[in-house]
Chains A and B, each alone.
Chain A
Amino acid sequence: MTTVRTLFNTATTMSEGGRGQALRRIAILALVCVLPLALRDYQLSLVTTALIAALGALALTLVTGFVGLVTAGNSALLALGAYGAAIGAVQLELPFLVVLVGSVLVGAVVGLLAGLPALRVSGIYLAIATLALHFILIFVFNEYQTRAVGSAGFFLPTASIGGLLIDNAIKWYAVLVVVVLATWRLVENLKRSKFGRAWMLIRDTPLAAASQGISLPAYKLAAFVVSSAIISMSGTFLAYFQQAVYIENFTLELAIQYIAMVIIGGMGSSGGAIAGACFVVLLPPMLSRAIALLPSDAVVAGFLQQNLGDFQLIIYGTLVVVFLVWRPDGLAGLGQRVAALRLPSRKGAR
């Protein structure tokens, strides 16, 4: 229970001081170390998938949560990282780390190009530009895939770092835990920096931000570029982890799933984004397990199992709307409420 609560709380209770934070860090470390021992390989790879999604959700928190911009380009940027990996690893036979750095750079450049025209005017235009980015990039990658290998898509070699092959669930888990924690740290630090303060001021009162001498286009663009680079990187991780890249993966619905992670987790909370990512990724397998518990001859069970994808779309979409209406601060806010109930002294702290 403590660990779950700490996960939710990290983002907004920094003012609480050293002891709580140290405890929280120990709790997270303990959770991270215990998980691979407690879970089987299949479950661990699910957690790894959730961690990859958490990277994207953290990046999106930066743009949507901190700055208050909507982007629909998450799926296209993931595809960018994935196809970058396919081109780098399969066509050019580059090592994993080179591909990874390359995808970060390409992600940043594409983010810059897409954000530059849109962010000169009001924030809503970024949604339009990223939609255009989505459809154009998916079109380009689809054409490329058809010409290069056909509709089955690319198969990637096993990733290796300095001769060490990352070829099983535990190794992948270890790599991604490190990357996610580092990214989390980066996002938290950015939030506390001059940039983070400017971003949140832009989100809450753009006029005040402008009159403080904050250049809105520049700061918005900075957020979008950083987040594009991270999402592209997570696309590369996804490609190497699944060892396959094909276009059907990257739909507009996937982009909405990432938005769902951020909204469900709680806008502006990086810990919440990780919780949201885990929720969104782990929901389908859990639903599937829950359905399997129903008596197998029930008509309902078969119907549910067959249409799991549709129910996923409905659940994520509804949750986005429900959370926006009911709790814009998401799971992170809920966690705080629960914490406040259990420790009355904290009520004043918020």
Chain B
Amino acid sequence: MLTLLLGALTLSAIYALVGFAWVLLRRTNGILNLATGAQLAIGAFIFNQFATSWQLPWPVVVLGTLATVAALGGVTHWVVFKKLSGQPEFALVVATLGLASALKGVSSLIWGTEARVMREPVPSQVVTFGDQATTTLYGLCGLGAAVLVFAAAHTFFKFSTVGIRMRAAAENPVLSAQGGIAVDWVYVLGWAMALTVAAIAGIMYAYQTALSFHGVEALGMRGLAPALIGGLTSVRGVIPGALIVGLAETFGTKVFGGSFQDVAAWIVILVVLLIRPQGLFGDKQVQRV
């Protein structure tokens, strides 16, 4: 029982990270990014390229992945979404779908579709708490990463100038551009941060299971569930969202069998849409037009 709860908690941590990526883009860039799954998978594969295929030292792996993923974010904004600014919202969503398809093709072309095992910095081991509660080292790593990311994001948005500018640009891009904020760079930063956090989630998930495009991409899409529970625009709301999805998935799988993992989050989404589409922490007034 305790092991199950711990499993749900470590899974929730990963969901919190993915949900954070969804919310950040929705909030800062105003885009419902349906390419999150594909981008998350690409991030994990880039990490794998540095770590496993090239066998580089770990600092280089981390820095290289960070730089590549951030650059990808910048390219995404400058090449695609900058050109689409001013288009209706649905055009942006369709563009993310197109992006998802293209990225999947690129990834499958470069890395194939079969599952891989990533090089580990420390050998994976089982950690035991008390009498029977067990979890894995990498599960705890994921939990730590989530706590770290959320704490950092909190500090960043609350106290740093750049963070406050990002919030301003999200609130009202025209006014903040008038006030001297380089809105384009805010958007680039938004993409870079979202992609980085997504990549971290993908890497943590891949360490706990295996790295396959399909599996990691599906995780990225399911991360929409915690974001939706949080109201799509609330970073704080992602945490209870992630806990709900993590619990639903863990116990659903326990009761209905392993393949239930694929749909638990989606059922949660349908339920949320039915009873409270604005989520638990979203903006109070949902635009009904």
| Residues in A lying within 8 Å of B, measured CB to CB | 64, 68-70, 72, 117-118, 120-125, 127-129, 131-132, 135-136, 139, 142-143, 203, 206-207, 210, 216, 252-253, 256-257, 259-260, 263, 307, 309-321, 324-325, 328
CA separation between A319 and B228, bound complex, in Å?
29
User: Does B95 touch A at the CB level, under 8 Å?
Assistant: yes
CB of A311 within 8 A of CB of B105, answer: yes
User: Does B221 touch A at the CB level, under 8 Å?
Assistant: yes
CB of A70 within 8 A of CB of B93, answer: yes
Say yes or no: A124-B90 contact (C-beta < 8 A), given A72-B97, A324-B98: yes
B100 to chain A, nearest CB (A): 7
| Residues of the B chain whose Cβ atoms lie less than 8 Å from the Cβ of A68 | 88, 90
CB of A324 within 8 A of CB of B91, answer: yes
CB of B289 within 8 A of CB of A216, answer: yes
Interface-centre pick from A125, A128, A307, A320 (highest chain B CB count, 10 A): A128
CA separation between A238 and B224, bound complex, in Å?
31
CB of A132 within 8 A of CB of B97, answer: no
CB of A139 within 8 A of CB of B97, answer: no
Interface-centre pick from B98, B103, B221, B278 (highest chain A CB count, 10 A): B98
Q: Which of B69-98 contact A (CB under 8 A)?
A: 80, 83-84, 87-91, 93-95, 97-98
Say yes or no: A317-B87 contact (C-beta < 8 A), given A132-B270, A263-B94: no
Partner of A122, one of B97, B102, B289: B289
CB of A70 within 8 A of CB of B277, answer: no
A63 to chain B, nearest CB (A): 10
CA separation between A62 and B194, bound complex, in Å?
33
CB of A206 within 8 A of CB of B289, answer: yes
User: Does B108 touch A at the CB level, under 8 Å?
Assistant: yes
CA separation between A203 and B84, bound complex, in Å?
17
| Residues of the A chain whose Cβ atoms lie less than 8 Å from the Cβ of B288 | 120-122, 216
Ordered by A's residue number, 24 sampled pairs between the chains whose C-beta atoms are within 8 Å are A64-B90, A64-B94, A70-B94, A70-B97, A72-B97, A122-B288, A123-B90, A124-B89, A125-B273, A128-B269, A129-B273, A131-B269, A216-B288, A253-B104, A256-B98, A260-B101, A310-B109, A314-B101, A314-B109, A315-B105, A317-B104, A324-B91, A325-B84, A325-B95
Q: Which residue of B lies closest to A303 (CB)?
A: B109
Partner of A321, one of B98, B106, B267, B273: B98
| Residues of the A chain whose Cβ atoms lie less than 8 Å from the Cβ of B178 | none
User: Does B262 touch A at the CB level, under 8 Å?
Assistant: yes
Which secondary structure characterizes the binding site on chain B?
A: helix
CB of A131 within 8 A of CB of B289, answer: no
- What string of 1s and 0s marks CB contacts (under 8 Å) between B217-233 and chain A? 00001001000100000
Say yes or no: A124-B93 contact (C-beta < 8 A), given A131-B224, A314-B109: yes
User: Does B266 touch A at the CB level, under 8 Å?
Assistant: yes
| Residues of the B chain whose Cβ atoms lie less than 8 Å from the Cβ of A315 | 105
Q: Which residue of B lies closest to A204 (CB)?
A: B88
Say yes or no: A253-B270 contact (C-beta < 8 A), given A127-B93, A307-B109: no
Q: 11 other contacts beyond A69-B90, A70-B93, with CB at 8 A cut-off?
A: A70-B97, A129-B273, A135-B221, A139-B259, A216-B289, A313-B102, A314-B102, A317-B104, A318-B102, A319-B98, A324-B95
Q: Which residue of B lies closest to A318 (CB)?
A: B102
CB of B263 within 8 A of CB of A117, answer: no
CB of B32 within 8 A of CB of A132, answer: no
Partner of B100, one of A203, A210, A256, A309: A256
CB of A121 within 8 A of CB of B101, answer: no
User: Does B287 touch A at the CB level, under 8 Å?
Assistant: yes
Nearest first, the 7 closest Cβ-Cβ pairs linking A and B are A317-B102, A320-B98, A313-B105, A317-B101, A314-B105, A132-B266, A206-B289
Say yes or no: A313-B108 contact (C-beta < 8 A), given A70-B94, A129-B273, A256-B98: yes
- What is the total number of residues of chain B having a CB less than 8 Å from a CB of chain A? 43
- What string of 1s and 0s marks CB contacts (under 8 Å) between B258-275 and chain A? 010011001101100110
Q: Which residue of A lies closest to B278 (CB)?
A: A121
- What string of 1s and 0s marks CB contacts (under 8 Å) between B91-132 and chain A? 101110111111111101100000000000000000000000
User: Does B34 touch A at the CB level, under 8 Å?
Assistant: yes
User: Does B255 touch A at the CB level, under 8 Å?
Assistant: no
CB of A143 within 8 A of CB of B259, answer: yes
CB of B97 within 8 A of CB of A259, answer: yes
A215 to chain B, nearest CB (A): 11
Say yes or no: A328-B98 contact (C-beta < 8 A), given A131-B34, A206-B289: no
User: Does B286 touch A at the CB level, under 8 Å?
Assistant: yes
CB of B101 within 8 A of CB of A316, answer: yes
- What string of 1s and 0s marks CB contacts (under 8 Å) between B196-208 and chain A? 0000000000000
CA separation between A318 and B99, bound complex, in Å?
7
Say yes or no: A320-B97 contact (C-beta < 8 A), given A206-B289, A210-B289: yes
CA separation between A207 and B287, bound complex, in Å?
11
Say yes or no: A317-B273 contact (C-beta < 8 A), given A123-B90, A131-B224, A210-B289: no
CB of A318 within 8 A of CB of B262, answer: no
CB of B273 within 8 A of CB of A118, answer: yes
Partner of B108, one of A310, A320, A324: A310
Say yes or no: A207-B97 contact (C-beta < 8 A), given A314-B109, A325-B84: no
CA separation between A332 and B56, bound complex, in Å?
51
B275 to chain A, nearest CB (A): 9
A74 to chain B, nearest CB (A): 11
| Residues of the A chain whose Cβ atoms lie less than 8 Å from the Cβ of B90 | 64, 68-70, 123-124
CB of B32 within 8 A of CB of A124, answer: yes
B265 to chain A, nearest CB (A): 8
CB of A321 within 8 A of CB of B95, answer: yes
